[in-house]
Chain A
Amino acid sequence: MRLPFQLILGAAVSAVFIAGALISLVWTPYSVEQMNIAQRLLAPGGGYLLGTDHFGRDILSMLMVGARTSIAVAIIAVGIGMVVGVPLGLLAAANRGSLLDEIVMRGNDLVFAFPSLIIAIMITAVLGPSAVNAILAIGIFNIPVFARVTRGGALSLWTLDYVLAARVAGKGKARISVEHILTNIANLLIVQGTIQFSLGILAEAGLSYVGLGAQPPLPSWGRMLADSQTMISFAPHMAIFPGLAIVLTVLGLNLMGDGMRDLLDPRLRRVR
């Protein structure tokens, strides 16, 4: 079966960064915590593959550890969104038309109504800037997304005959939601999860840029961009590489999400 081209390209690009993040757990070319002022603001090349920043830290190493931070924050935030949002969506669909459904969906709309990044900034400002609070803030805004996607997919499945057969076999709504509905909307959730993952990385970068995400000395792509602002005219490499990292990761994940949708979404299935 030929995989869609987007999927392969997206997966390849994302894999590079995920690999970097995983490798950084055991090894980075240079330590990111030691400052080496003598070697600061070196251009790419020589011993430092991507150059150094204003404290003499190796940019490549910082990118790898930053990848770890971004990916960890984004994945856990998506996890929160799924763990809370999917059951809410299943609950709403199983009780469609009832007061419970209305409450869940209007709650959803309420959270959607708030501008997510600004509220995230507010949460981290109130609770204190840290990676954990960034996860919380981004995760909260993933919940309504998954709830809505789950409910939409589940609603169309409730009308099918095999759900009716399960009801005739005496199964309750909760059991049917898990056994029959969840297994058949998994495709939708995988695609949405991939897309939310890429948005999560972008959100984390945004929070770190304003200083409310992961705190130094833990490197983060957004923070690297912020630090490079004043030095961009004579050390552009400090801004270019973190920026490229963000762009390529988000693009790769988006492509992968699109490619997976082409592969997995049964409604888009065509004769090959």
Chain B
Amino acid sequence: MVRGPYMLEVRDLSMTIHGTDILRDVSFSVGAGEVFGLVGESGSGKSMTALALMRLLPRGAQVSGEIRFGQTEVSRLSEHQMCGLRGRDIGMIFQEPMTALNPVQTIGDQVAETLLVHGASTPAQARDAAAQRLARVGLDPGRVPLDRYPHELSGGQRQRVCIAMAVALRPRLLIADEPTTALDVTTQAQILALLRDLVADDGMSLMLITHDLAVVADMADHVAVMQSGRIVEADRTECLFRNRRHAYTAKLFADSAHVPARRPEVAPVPVLQVRGAVRDYPLARRRLIGPRPLFRAVDGVDLTVHEGESVGLVGESGCGKSTLTRAILGLEAVQGGAIRLAGDSVTGGHVPGAVRRKMQVVFQDPYGSFNPRHRVARLVAEPFHLLPTPPADLRAKVAEALEAVGLQGSDSEKYIHEFSGGQRQRIAIARAIVIRPKLVILDEAVSALDVSIRARILDLLADLQKRFGLSYLFISHDLSVVRAITDRVLVMRAGRIVEEGRTEQVFANPSHDYTKALIAATPQIPRAWLDGLPGPVSPA
């Protein structure tokens, strides 16, 4: 336990919004220089807790309870005094760095703004100070000049700019709300390392809000688990991970390590064969006459999926996975190589329905995958367009597909907004299997879901594979998910496949440096903590 005066103390924080309970009696303390992890699934209230600390609540919110920051009672300050506190004593960074930055201001101006608003430097000095702050977070002004705009930076670089803005005035507390969820694995490792350095150098406290248990295991001194607006368990990190006293905590851990029971029945018949696929994008013209420069997004990729097999395709953003997916789906033409689906050739742009019906796709975003104006029946029946005539028992088939994914046939009369994220992904899977394809491409299909829902969906996918003899191409950046559900895995980087092999083999003994770097960058919960045996009791 951290001795001495707490830097932040929260007692019985409760919040309602328009009468609905959001937080109930939330209490925790954070010491100076400590990293505090707040873990929970979506809807648990973790982001709301952070916003309540900063008093940045939506309209209609009623807060009660005590928030003591140092010697100040935050809940009693006026808005004007709060403005003085925010940015100077408490900083905050958010999940989506692109939307957290003003797209029409340069990064130098945005960092300087924090300094100017609090009167910490004159306009003349602000630019130099901004350059210093950006250098501190790893953005050297020589390589990333201050007059860059946010859209010219990568995701990791944008998050660094957000961090520079948040710590510009060396606040005592930094609240990080899912800071690395939208970033690649290697970038995530770098950002977390940066946060650790800042905590060590400045003696700043860090409140890390996340749903990822492994990140918290790496970073936090204390952890609290939230469910439905309440803190169900709070302890020192190692103690909480070893003991898992509360039922919900135990369930959370079980789900995040969940591996669906699978007995793959793989036939040596290839369902999908990609040989030497090449996809070029034309870039902006540099000369008026002559050929345009090309960007090679997919560079000679070979990929095979056999019947009944689950193949994983792993890579970070920008490696070409989405381009390859679209080429396999026949939505785009390839400039070289051949794609064959169960023997039939797939050429971009004009794929006959008879060939298309053998493959379907499930997308990442459960909220953008469906037309909000159509009922579920119409949405799920969309692939029937690929058949020469719609089947006579269309309604029955739709009901059957919905029941196969764990919903009810009567749900086909509802609109999509009546369903939660996990249920929507089930409907997306129903849409994919309704015409009994041979291959289902899952493009980051579980990335946007909570841990417990993800476990159920993975179970469902394993079950459907057995029942309907499906083959899966699982595209993801999340190594743990790929490890749980695939038989073979391919690692992609900059348009090329750098490693390929049986999943367990690749993960246990990676041969390529890039694969090794990816696996090393993935945060892991120490094996010893998950033994299931009770660990040391934390000293009171």
Question: Which A residues are closer than 8 A to B by beta carbons?
Answer: 160-162, 164-171, 179-180, 183-184, 271
Contact = CB atoms under 8 A, between A and B. Distances in A.
B356 A170 contact: yes
Contact of A180 (B353, B356, B363, B371): B371
Interface hub of B60, B360, B385 (most chain A Cβ within 10 A): B385
A167 B363 contact: no
Given A168-B361, A169-B383, A170-B385, A162 B60 contact: no
Pairs A-B, 10 closest by C-beta atoms: A161-B363, A161-B369, A183-B373, A161-B368, A170-B386, A169-B382, A169-B383, A169-B385, A162-B371, A170-B353
B431 interface: yes
A200 B368 CA distance: 37
A184 to B, nearest CB: 6
Contact of A161 (B58, B59, B365, B373): B365
Contacts of B369: 161-162, 165
B331 interface: yes
22 contacts: A161-B363, A161-B365, A161-B368, A161-B369, A162-B369, A162-B370, A164-B331, A165-B369, A165-B382, A167-B331, A168-B331, A168-B360, A168-B361, A168-B383, A169-B356, A170-B385, A171-B385, A179-B371, A183-B373, A183-B374, A271-B59, A271-B60
B360 to A, nearest CB: 7
B391 to A, nearest CB: 15
B39 interface: no
A29 B434 CA distance: 65
B329 interface: yes
Contacts of B382: 165-166, 169, 171
Contacts of B365: 161
A120 B365 CA distance: 49
B190 to A, nearest CB: 29
A165 B373 contact: no
A165 to B, nearest CB: 6
Nearest to A163: B371
B372 interface: yes
B386 A165 contact: no
Nearest to A270: B59
Contacts of B370: 162, 165
A168 B329 contact: yes
Contacts, number: 50
A168 B371 contact: no
A165 B363 contact: yes
Interface in B352-398: 353, 356, 360-361, 363-365, 368-374, 382-383, 385-386
B60 A168 contact: no
A257 to B, nearest CB: 22
A168 B59 contact: no
A264 to B, nearest CB: 13
A178 to B, nearest CB: 12
Interface hub of A160, A162, A168, A179 (most chain B Cβ within 10 A): A168
Given A160-B368, A180-B371, A165 B385 contact: no
Interface of B: 58-60, 329, 331, 351, 353, 356, 360-361, 363-365, 368-374, 382-383, 385-386, 431
Nearest to A171: B385
A271 B18 CA distance: 10
A127 B169 CA distance: 72
A161 B373 CA distance: 14
Nearest to A182: B373
B108 to A, nearest CB: 30
A215 B360 CA distance: 62
B119 to A, nearest CB: 32
Contacts of A164: 331, 361, 363
A155 B432 CA distance: 26
A160 B383 CA distance: 17
B436 to A, nearest CB: 14
A165 B59 contact: no
A168 B373 contact: no
A170 B360 CA distance: 11
Contacts of A160: 368
A179 B364 CA distance: 22
A180 B373 CA distance: 8
Interface hub of B351, B364, B373, B431 (most chain A Cβ within 10 A): B373
Contacts of B385: 169-171
A166 B361 CA distance: 11
Contacts of A166: 382
Contact of A165 (B60, B351, B361): B361
Contacts of B368: 160-162
Given A162-B369, A183-B373, A184-B373, A169 B331 contact: no
Contacts of B431: 165
Interface hub of A160, A166, A170 (most chain B Cβ within 10 A): A170
A194 B58 CA distance: 32
B429 to A, nearest CB: 12
A162 B364 CA distance: 11
B183 to A, nearest CB: 21
A238 B385 CA distance: 63
A233 B386 CA distance: 74
A160 B364 CA distance: 11
Contacts of A180: 371
Interface hub of A164, A166, A171, A184 (most chain B Cβ within 10 A): A164
Given A160-B368, A161-B369, A162-B370, A169 B386 contact: yes
Contacts of A161: 363-365, 368-369
B497 to A, nearest CB: 24
A184 B371 CA distance: 8
A14 B383 CA distance: 45
Contacts of A179: 371
Contacts of B58: 271
A180 B368 CA distance: 12
A170 B372 CA distance: 20
Given A165-B431, A170-B386, 7 more contacts: A161-B368, A162-B368, A165-B370, A168-B361, A170-B353, A170-B356, A183-B373
Contacts of B374: 183
Contacts of A170: 351, 353, 356, 385-386
Contacts of A184: 371-373
A168 B440 CA distance: 12
Contacts of A168: 329, 331, 356, 360-361, 383
A157 to B, nearest CB: 9
Contacts of B371: 162, 179-180, 183-184
A164 B364 CA distance: 12
Nearest to A183: B373
A161 B363 CA distance: 7
A149 B385 CA distance: 30
Nearest to B385: A169
Nearest to B387: A170
A120 to B, nearest CB: 37
Contacts of A271: 58-60
A271 B61 CA distance: 11
A162 B362 CA distance: 10
